[in-house]
């Protein structure tokens, strides 16, 4: 018996079992299919028709070799309706670049060696490793969808591993650099940078922020967490608002449904110009988010767990990139070791406290033993009788 699958776009598919060919057949259900019950009803009818030999199976890829391009077009339409314009433009470049590489080669004739050759070519072109990881991930998604739609019997991208994520320390601004950026920026952009540094919001989160997200009484702001294709740890996070930011928010306060930043264009260009004017070199918008976390970590008053919640990280592993900015905790750990290991060179003064604690625990244990003495043998016999 087959089953049904619902895409994020709302499209339903019936996965049928072809007993003759011993394979699965993906059939797109009509757009009128809205519920699980309707999808299962359609799937049952299609499966019965397939078993009776009355169902015309989806055609495999034609000789034009454009089947995977049609699927790529569908995915690009989905991306355009959900993601940022920059990501849609990047995905379109991924498809065009790979299409130029394969040329007239049919998708059904592609092998994993074609994909490896393409990756080696991109590495020869000095492609950014992070960009290459995203490119491979999107192409895998395209050919997986083509396989599910019955256009391909195998996915040439299966088993192709993406390059490892580049490891580099996050760029963050010091207090002096933050002040220099504020002085070099006009008033409106200064408020924008202050918001990003004081909330740790991502660019998309700042774009979507409304005045209704700000709680002026409790002096905090609610920021919906970005999913990035995964289920977020919490639907939103609450970030306390500093006095400087609160005063700016109160001066600009608008209607609850209005966006805090009506204009979201040219943020990257504006930051590059202001950073250059301040003598800071190349600064990204995401670096202001790193600055938010680094300033909290350097204060020594906020733990990594608290930083994780304020940043909206799903895992503490992501937050550990700021662990090296917690020198006070390292000093406390070394002080504890010095105290415990003070007897290594005969320094009894350092271990006095440790000895006192050990003696106290020993006295408590003896007192517990005295209060829980077992009865003597004659008393035990008398109790048992």
The whole-angstrom separation of Cα 138 and Cα 78 is 13
Q: Alpha carbon of 61 to those of 27, 103, 119: distances in Å?
A: 15, 16, 24
pLDDT 10s digits, 114-136:
999 999 999 898 888 888 999 99
Buried (b) or exposed (e) across 345-373, using 16+ Cβ within 10 A?
eeeeeebeeeeeeeeeeeeeeeeeeeeee
Whether residues 187 and 321 share a domain: the answer is yes
CATH at residue 304: 1.10.443.10
Structure-token pair, residue 208 = 């979507």
- Inside any domain, residue 335: no
**Coil, helix or strand for 173?**
coil
Domain annotation covers residue 384: no
Tell whether 94 and 31 lie within a shared domain. Answer: no
Regarding whether 126 and 10 lie in a shared domain, the answer is no
Report the SS3 class of residue 183.
helix
Q: Is residue 33 part of a domain?
A: yes
Alpha carbon distances (Å) from 136 to 130, 146, 157: 10, 15, 8
**pLDDT, tens digit, for every residue of 214-248?**
999 999 998 877 655 454 556 778 888 888 888 99
**Domain termination residue (choose one: 130, 148, 166):** 148
List pLDDT tens digits, range 142-169: 898 888 877 787 888 888 888 887 666 6
Strand order in the sheet with 236-240: 214-215, 220-224, 236-240
**Both 41 and 121 in a single domain?**
no
Least confident of 32-46, 234-248, 366-380: 366-380
pLDDT of residue 358: 45
Cβ neighbours of residue 307 under 8 Å, at least 6 residues apart?
293, 296, 297, 319, 322
pLDDT, position 352: 44
| Assigned domain for 310 exists | yes
Q: How far apart are CA 150 and CA 147, in angstroms?
A: 5
Inter-residue contact 106 to 65 (CB < 8 Å) = yes
Q: Does residue 5 register a pLDDT over 90? A: no
Which H or E run includes 232? Answer: none
pLDDT tens, 259-281? 999 887 889 899 999 999 999 88
Please check whether residue 379 lies inside any domain of the structure: no
Same domain, 232 and 296: yes
CA distance 345 to 337: 13
DSSP assigned state of 104: T
- What stretch of H or E contains 5? strand 3-6
216 and 136 together in one domain:
no
- pTM for the structure as a whole: 0.55
Distance CA 194, CA 187 (A): 11
Q: Which domain holds residue 353?
A: 340-371
> Would you place residue 338 in the very low, low, confident or very high pLDDT band (cuts 50, 70, 90)?
low
Specify whether 82 is located in the same domain as 46: no
Looking at the structure, tell me whether residues 278 and 204 fall in a common domain.
Answer: yes
Higher pLDDT: 248 or 16? It is 248
Is the per-residue pLDDT at 93 higher than 80?
Answer: yes
In SS3 terms, 144-172 reads as HHHHHCCCCCCCCCCCCCCCCCCCCCCCC
Query: Is the residue at 296 inside a domain?
Result: yes
> What does the alpha-carbon distance between residue 310 and residue 238 come to, in Å, rounded to a whole number?
7
Domains contained in the chain, number = 4
Residue 11 located in a structural domain: yes
Clarify whether residues 201 and 281 are in a common domain.
yes
Mean pLDDT of the chain: 76
Domain shared by 320 and 366, yes or no: no
Neighbours of 316 (CB within 10 A): 12
Query: Region 7-33: what's the mean pLDDT?
Result: 73
Is residue 71 within 8 Å of 30, Cβ to Cβ? no
pLDDT at 86: 80
Q: Would residue 12 count as lying in a domain?
A: yes
Percent of the chain with pLDDT over 90: 11
| H or E segment and range at residue 201 | none
Pair 68, 142: CB distance under 8 Å: yes
As a whole number of angstroms, the distance between CA 36 and CA 326 comes to 51
Is the per-residue pLDDT at 202 higher than 60? yes
Quickly tell me which residue has 């950026």 as its tokens: 181
Torsion sign over Cα 254, 256, 261, 262: negative
- 197 and 242 fall within a common domain: yes
Altogether, the residues listed in the chain come to a count of 385
Do 315 and 348 fall within a single domain? Answer: no
């Amino acid at each position: 018996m087959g089953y049904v699958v619902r895409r994020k776009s709302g499209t339903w598919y019936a996965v049928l079992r072809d007993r003759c060919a011993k394979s699965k057949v993906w059939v797109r259900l009509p757009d009128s299919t809205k519920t699980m019950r309707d999808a299962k009803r359609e799937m049952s009818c299609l499966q019965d028709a397939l078993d009776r030999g009355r169902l015309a199976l989806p055609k495999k890829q034609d000789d034009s070799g454009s089947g995977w391009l049609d699927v790529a077009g569908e995915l690009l339409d989905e991306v355009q309706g959900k993601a940022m314009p920059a990501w849609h433009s990047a995905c379109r470049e991924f498809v065009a670049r790979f299409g130029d590489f394969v040329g007239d080669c049919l998708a059904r004739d592609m092998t994993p060696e074609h994909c490896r050759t393409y990756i080696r070519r991109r590495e020869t072109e000095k492609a950014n490793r992070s960009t290459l990881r995203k490119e491979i991930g999107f192409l895998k998604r395209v050919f997986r969808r083509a396989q599910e739609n019955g256009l391909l019997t195998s996915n040439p991208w299966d088993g192709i591993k993406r390059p490892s994520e580049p490891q580099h320390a996050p760029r963050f601004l010091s207090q002096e650099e933050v002040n220099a950026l504020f002085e070099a920026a006009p008033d409106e952009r200064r408020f924008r940078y202050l918001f990003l540094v004081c909330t740790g919001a991502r660019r998309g989160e700042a774009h979507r922020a409304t005045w209704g997200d700000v709680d002026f009484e409790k002096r905090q702001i609610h920021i919906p967490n970005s999913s990035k294709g995964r289920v977020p740890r919490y639907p939103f996070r609450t970030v306390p608002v500093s006095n400087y930011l609160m005063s700016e928010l109160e001066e600009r306060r608008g209607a609850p449904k209005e966006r805090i930043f009506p204009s979201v264009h040219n943020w990257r260009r504006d930051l590059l110009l202001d950073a250059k004017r301040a003598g800071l070199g190349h600064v990204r918008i995401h670096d202001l988010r790193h600055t938010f976390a680094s300033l909290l970590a350097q204060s020594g008053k906020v733990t990594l767990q608290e930083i994780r919640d304020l940043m909206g990280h799903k895992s503490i592993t992501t937050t550990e990139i700021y662990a090296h900015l917690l020198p006070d905790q390292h000093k406390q750990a070394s002080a504890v070791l010095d105290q415990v290991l003070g007897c290594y060179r005969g320094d009894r003064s350092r271990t006095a406290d440790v000895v006192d604690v050990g003696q106290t625990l020993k006295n408590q244990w003896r007192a517990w033993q005295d209060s829980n003495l077992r009865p003597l043998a004659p008393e035990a016999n008398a109790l048992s009788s």
